[in-house]
A and B are shown apart, each in its own frame.
Chain A
Amino acid sequence: MSDTKGIGEELAKLSLGIAAKENATYSDFRLVHTRNEHVSVVNDNPSSEESDNLGVGVRVLYGGTGWGFADTDETDHDSIREATLKALSLAKGASKAGSKVSLAREPAHVENWDSPVEKDPFSASTEDKYDVLREATVRMKEKDVVARRGELFFSTIGKYFANSEGSRIYQNLTHSGTLIIVAAKGPNGMQRRSAQQYMLSGYELVDQMRLPEEAVELTKDVLALTSAGKCPEGKSDIILSGDQVALQVHESCGHPIELDRVLGYEANFAGRSFLTPDKLGNLQYGSEHVNIVMDSTLEHGQGLGTFRYDDEGVMAQRKYAVRNGKFSGYLMSRETAPRVGETRSNGCMRADGYKLPIIRMTNVSLDPGDWDYDELIEDTKDGILMVTNYGWSIDQKRYNFQFNCEKGYVIHNGSLGEMVRGPAYSGITPEFWNSCDAVCNRDSWVLWGTPNCGKGQPMQVMGTGHGASPTRFRNVKVFGAS
């Protein structure tokens, strides 16, 4: 990665110079060098791949009204010149059908930043990676188990950002991810148990996840699920595991606070949002126990939404999206922040590689509450504990949702009772979050990683972080898969 900054500086000078000469209102340049490794074992079949990509994205605002963007993975001077002129040409065309763009002010930043890494995943041997996965998948071998999967993901992203306002930023981010899945067949069809985690981390994550030991526990679970009963139907109090709360936050809070959706720019694909600007500071989104932050700073944790600067050069920040239950803020860009009266973006423009930056979740997390997990179970007279997501669906304005989980337990008089298969719950977002009456404390709070959030046309994939702990909701519609 050491040459990424040097190449970036040289090419940025060329690209920004052309844009300035052509009278662009604003331009920025990103050079992104990505190295990935994916190692996988499915049943007894191994597979691994390493990839290395370098590309440039040039964004230009012309006439104060039109944006154009071009990317290329050819990094010679002619190609950068061509890409910059292409972005200018598109910006000039778009300026005829655009309206005045006002960019929120951001200081010019000059900084180099490396994310924390204890063990470089690319220094760890691929043999060791296979060994971990083979040990985990071998431990899943049992009668009725039909699928045993283990996967490891590693990436380092070196990116150089420069803009026409003087920012010159180099960041080097290392991510690691682990995934294990075991599926078994029984009289009620196929059941699945899985565990995954993705973080801004080095290889130390693989050690922390203890995949072989976890594989044994998941296998016991999945075999028990094949003969477990169906989840009861009706209204019930529910406790969701931390990883399930993380996805609930992602879908029902993270997406509707994306300001590009709110303003209608995603209406054709990702959709719109029920959290319109008139509700900002007014809507009681959830109960007083619900505090949700948008936090890309390292102090929040090493999540997939942690960085030093976003992809338009705005410094990482922490802001509340929901405070004491009240809707308090959006995920924003420099262009959209002024539309809701903000003087500064909170730094949520992120790009898949060197593609066009769009508004994305950073770490959108539910603050821990003050409940001890065991005390929360004891305090629940009757209810259902639901663990780990199986399927998720929500309408395009993020009101009506349904989540299916991998396993559940019926709670009787404050104790976990029988296991149930395919537990599911559904609701309407603000009603649901207003039914929240208990959030577990920091002892059970984990910053989970969601590696595959899709948005944009053409589709971009982004990793996001969601801190969460087990949480209780009252009187929710529950049911079960057949």
Chain B
Amino acid sequence: MTQSTLVEQETMRQKAHQIFDMVKGFAHGADEVEITLATNIGEYLRFGHNELGQSQHSKSRDLSVRVTTDRRQGRASTGRLEKSLIEKTVQKALAQAKAAPEDPDYLPMLGPQQYRSVERYHEATVDAPADVKAGHVIFAIDLAKKNSLLASGVLGTSADHGSILNSSGLEAHHRATTGHFSLTMDADNGNQTGFALSTFADIRDLDAEKLAETALERARLNKSQADISPGKYDVVIDPAAWSETLIFLTVSASAGYSPDFGMRQYKEGRSYLSGRIGERIMGENITLEDDAYHPLQTGPPFDGEGYPKSKLTLVENGTLRNLASSRISAKRYGDAKPTGHELPLPNPLGELPTNVVIRGSGPTKTPDELVEELDSGLLLTRLWYVREVEARTKTVTGMTRDGTFLVENGEVKQPVRNLRFNQSLLELFTNIEKLSEPVRNTSFGGPTMIQPGVLARDFNITSVSVF
């Protein structure tokens, strides 16, 4: 850690303390006060049609103030950190608390905690010159041009600082850098496409040339697609292909897009998992953990109220074992202990695992080996526009995109048109035979998931698109 980084970190902590002191001074009549201060600086080189058309630089701050009075809670937030506007924000939080009904789950604010250190801030990402990042983009555009293709995508980096301080003495700080390079090469109005994605915390881990070559290779292969019939196919799903699908393991539309692996939802019967602890819901070779400390994970080692995150085994060898929990659940239910999975309070939706890691038992394969071990079936490189159809079986529908290939005797033989699937995720996770090493992925800026590629049997294709 360099001198300048240390100074910056210290400055952010001082800033959080200054604001907290100010907020406390304005919060007359509040029983308790909490602030969450977040800052973000991001740079996004967005390109399309072989042009750098949407280069963006962004700076934002967010101060969120929570106060409690007589077991009632209120929250107000602002990006405006002038003293008079902070005072106004505190008054709004107080007004919200006074107007709120008594919270049946009210708990006094959490006291000081000890956190396990996670180092997720990389100066190389913060300091990466714009022209170096632009060079990665230009390389991809030039490669596309040389091959009569169009490159589109984004190379984004961001640096975040976050702090929680409260009147019970809790103080939690976290900072991190994140980045992603997402790239599509296409031709013939999207009839021929190839996609590649890489996420990183340290930009030195980005192999931009390899990424561009992967997108190119897939686009070159994905030409003159064959028509196939709907039905059940054995599939290899590329590890970067399906974060948008996997998010539906943890969130359901049935109660209005609320999280599923939380204790409160489970006990209230709102989750598709309710009543299923101890039940085998997936194959014996599948384990789902929530592990904020996994080296590929992102985010802080504490939850929305500053409780330290525990590593949790949600599904062990296919059997539902544990749920994400919180102080509220521990108070409500005799058999629950806090695990550090609360969202910022007041949180009526319930707990959410935000650091899911999916892994298999036994030795892993490389993604290429998964294809080599597929006798006959499909290679899916990107699943798109996935939505829940039915919660109990976790049936989802979605489309394949940017490269769907027929595989025979372990070799990619022929691209096929984009396919619609209607597939139970629980059934899919029962039919997985082989897995690759998991990679980091995110969906729409949501929680990070560490996810493997898989070889699975009987994936349910229900229709074929026209391209």
Among residues of A, the one whose C-beta sits closest to the C-beta of B44 is: A458
**Interface status of A449 (Cβ within 8 A of chain B):** no
Of B74, B99, B150, B269, which is within 8 A of A125 by CB?
B99
Pick the interface stretch among B101-109, B160-168, B312-320, B449-457.
Answer: B101-109
Q: Which residues 120-162 of B have a CB within 8 angstroms of A?
A: 130-131, 134, 137-138, 141, 150, 152-154, 156
Complex CA–CA separation, A397 to B466 (angstroms) = 10
Question: A97 contacts B51, CB within 8 Å?
Answer: yes
Q: Specify the chain A residue showing the minimal Cβ separation from B95.
A: A126
**Pairwise interchain contact B76-A49, C-beta atoms closer than 8 A:** yes
Contacts A134-B101, A394-B385, A400-B420; A459 near B79 (Cβ below 8 A):
no
Contact partner, B463, options A98, A260, A426, Cβ 8 Å? A426
B56 touches A147 (CB 8 A): no
A453 contacts across to B, CB distance below 8 A: none
CB distance from A274 to the nearest CB of B (A): 8
Closest residue of B by beta carbon distance from A98: B51
**In the assembled complex, B190 has its CB within 8 A of some CB on chain A:** yes
Contact at A48–B389, with CB atoms within 8 Å? Answer: no
Docked Cα-Cα span, A334 to B380, in Å, equals: 38
- For the complex, what is the distance from the CA of A87 to the CA of B53, rounded to whole Å? 12
Among candidates B59, B137, B270, residue contacting A72 with C-beta atoms closer than 8 Å: B59
In chain B, residues 162-183, which have Cβ atoms closer than 8 Å to a Cβ of chain A? 182-183
- B42, B79, B395, B463: the one within 8 Å of A53 (CB): B79
Residues on B with C-beta less than 8 A from A276 are: 189
Number of A residues with CB within 8 Å of any CB on chain B: 92
Closest Cβ of chain B: how far from A120's Cβ, in Å? 15
Instruction: For the complex formed, measure the closest distance between the CB of B41 and the CB atoms of chain A, giving whole angstroms.
Output: 10
What is the CA–CA distance of A47 and B105 in the complex, to the nearest angstrom? 11
A265 with B48: CB separation less than 8 A:
yes
In the assembled complex, A44 has its CB within 8 A of some CB on chain B: yes
Within 8 A of A (CB), among B445-467: 445, 462-467
Contact B347 A47 (CB under 8 A): yes
Q: Which residues of A contact B78 (CB under 8 A)?
A: 51-53
**A71, B56: Cβ atoms under 8 Å?**
yes
Chain B neighbourhood of A185, CB < 8 A: 269
- Say if the beta carbon of A208 comes within 8 Å of chain B: no
Q: Do A73 and B96 touch across chains, with their CB atoms under 8 A apart? A: no
> Would A126 and B96 count as touching, CB distance under 8 A?
yes
Q: Tell me if A43 and B348 are in contact (CB < 8 A).
A: yes
Q: A50-B76, A73-B59, A482-B390 are in contact. Are A99 and B104 (CB under 8 A)?
A: no
B198 to chain A, nearest CB (A): 13
Whether the pair B88, A91 counts as a contact (CB closer than 8 A) is no
Task: Given A70-B57, A356-B54, A400-B420, check contact A422 B270 (CB 8 Å).
Answer: no
Q: Tell me whether A216 is interfacial, beta carbon within 8 Å.
A: no
Determine if B218 is an interface residue (Cβ-Cβ < 8 Å): no
Contact B152–A265 (Cβ < 8 Å):
yes
Partner of A74, one of B48, B59, B418: B59
When chains A and B are docked, how far (Å) is the Cα of A426 from the Cα of B397?
A: 11
Instruction: Give the Cβ gap from A44 to chain B, nearest Cβ, in Å.
Output: 6
Interface pick from A23-31, A186-194, A307-315, A316-324: A186-194
A268 in contact with B48 (CB, 8 Å): yes
Kindly state whether residue A281 has any CB partner on chain B within 8 Å: no
Digitize B84-106: 1 where CB-to-A-CB distance is under 8 Å, 0 elsewhere.
01001100110110011101110
Bound CA span A320–B181, Å: 38
The proximity string for A residues 85-116 relative to B, scoring 1 for CB distances below 8 Å and 0 otherwise, is: 01101110110011100000000000000000
**CA–CA, A42 and B131, complex, Å:** 49
CA distance A94 to B57 in the complex (A): 13
B384 and A396 form a contact (CB under 8 A):
yes
A130 to B102, CA, bound (A): 11
If A87-B57, A126-B96 touch, whether A48 touches B152 (CB-CB below 8 Å) is: no
**Chain A residues near B141 (CB, 8 Å)?**
97
Q: Which residues of A contact B99 (CB under 8 A)?
A: 48, 125-127, 129-130
User: Which one of B11-19, B204-212, B248-256, B358-366 is at the A interface?
Assistant: B248-256
**CB of B367 closer than 8 Å to a CB of A:** no
- B76 surroundings in chain A (CB, below 8 A): 49-52
Q: Does B46 contact A (CB under 8 A)?
A: yes
Residues of chain A within 8 A (CB-CB) of B105 are 45
Cβ of A192 and Cβ of B254 under 8 Å apart? yes
Answer whether residue A472 sits at the interface, using C-beta atoms and an 8 A cutoff: no
Instruction: Assess whether B277 is interfacial by the CB under 8 Å rule.
Output: no
Q: Across the interface, do B184 and A268 meet the contact criterion of CB distance under 8 Å?
A: yes
Which residue in chain A gives the minimum CB-CB distance to B72?
A: A46
- Interface residue? B399 (CB, 8 A): yes
| Distance A224 CA – B321 CA, assembled complex (angstroms) | 33
Q: Assess the A50–B96 pair: CB atoms within 8 A.
A: yes
Contact A481 B390 (CB under 8 A): yes
Residues from chain B with a CB closer than 8 A to the CB of A274 are 466-467
Are the CB atoms of A146 and B255 closer together than 8 Å? yes
B residues near A391, Cβ cutoff 8 Å: 253, 387-389, 397
The verdict on B311 contacting chain A, using a C-beta distance below 8 Å, is no
Q: A147 and B466 in contact (CB under 8 A), knowing A90-B55, A93-B55, A356-B54?
A: no
Residue of A nearest to B391 (CB): A190
B397 touches A393 (CB 8 A): yes
- Say yes or no: is A454 at the interface (Cβ < 8 Å to chain B): yes
Contact A73 B80 (CB under 8 A): yes
Task: Report which of B183, B195, B348, B393 forms a contact with A45, defined as CB distance below 8 A.
Answer: B348
> Bound state CA distance, A47 and B104, in angstroms?
11
Q: Do A73 and B79 have beta carbons less than 8 Å apart?
A: yes
Interchain CA distance A394-B418 in the complex, whole Å:
11
- Distance between B377 CB and nearest chain A CB, rounded to angstroms: 21
Quick check: is A68 within 8 A (CB to CB) of the other chain? Answer: yes
Closest to B58 in A: A71
A457 touching B156 in the complex, CB below 8 Å, given contacts A69-B55, A265-B49, A276-B189: yes
A40, CB-defined interface residue at 8 Å: yes
Q: Which chain A residues lie closer than 8 Å to B309 at the CB level? A: none
Determine the chain B residues whose CB is within 8 A of the CB of A98 once the complex forms: 51-53
Contacting A at CB under 8 A, from B412-467, are 418, 420, 422, 444-445, 462-467
**Smallest beta-carbon distance B422→chain A, Å:** 8
Kindly state the separation between the CA atoms of A358 and B156 in the bound complex, as whole angstroms: 18
List the A side residues contacting B464 at CB < 8 Å.
Answer: 400
Q: Are B389 and A146 in contact (CB under 8 A)?
A: no
CA distance A276 to B130 in the complex (A): 34
Flag whether B186 is at the interface (Cβ < 8 A): yes
> B44, B49, B393, B466: which contacts A399 (Cβ < 8 A)?
B466
Chain A residues near B130 (CB, 8 Å)? 89-90, 93
Q: Which residues of B contact A424 (CB under 8 A)?
A: 389
User: Is there a chain A Cβ closer than 8 Å to B272's Cβ?
Assistant: yes
Q: Within the complex, what minimum Cβ distance (angstroms) separates B252 from chain A?
A: 8
B268 at the interface (CB under 8 A from A): yes
Please state if A46 and B387 are interface contacts (CB–CB under 8 Å): no
Chain A residues with Cβ under 8 A from B153's Cβ?
Answer: 268, 457
Q: Is the CB of B390 within 8 A of A68?
A: no
Residue pair A48, B466 in contact (C-beta under 8 Å):
no
Could you list 9 A-B pairs, sorted by A, with CB under 8 Å?
A50-B95, A90-B57, A147-B254, A192-B256, A265-B49, A268-B153, A355-B58, A458-B44, A458-B58
- A-side residues, CB < 8 A to B, are 40-55, 66-74, 79, 83, 86-87, 89-91, 93-94, 97-99, 125-127, 129-130, 134, 146-147, 149, 179, 181, 183, 185, 189-192, 194, 260, 263-269, 271-272, 274, 276, 355-356, 358, 390-397, 399-400, 402, 404, 422, 424, 426, 428, 454, 457-459, 481-482
Q: Which residues of B contact A (CB under 8 A)?
A: 42, 44, 46-61, 64, 73-80, 85, 88-89, 92-93, 95-96, 99-101, 103-105, 130-131, 134, 137-138, 141, 150, 152-154, 156, 182-184, 186, 189-190, 193, 195, 252-256, 258, 268-270, 272, 274, 346-349, 384-393, 395, 397-399, 401-402, 418, 420, 422, 444-445, 462-467
List 4 other contacts, CB 8 Å, given A41-B348, A264-B190, A274-B467.
Answer: A47-B348, A83-B59, A94-B51, A393-B398
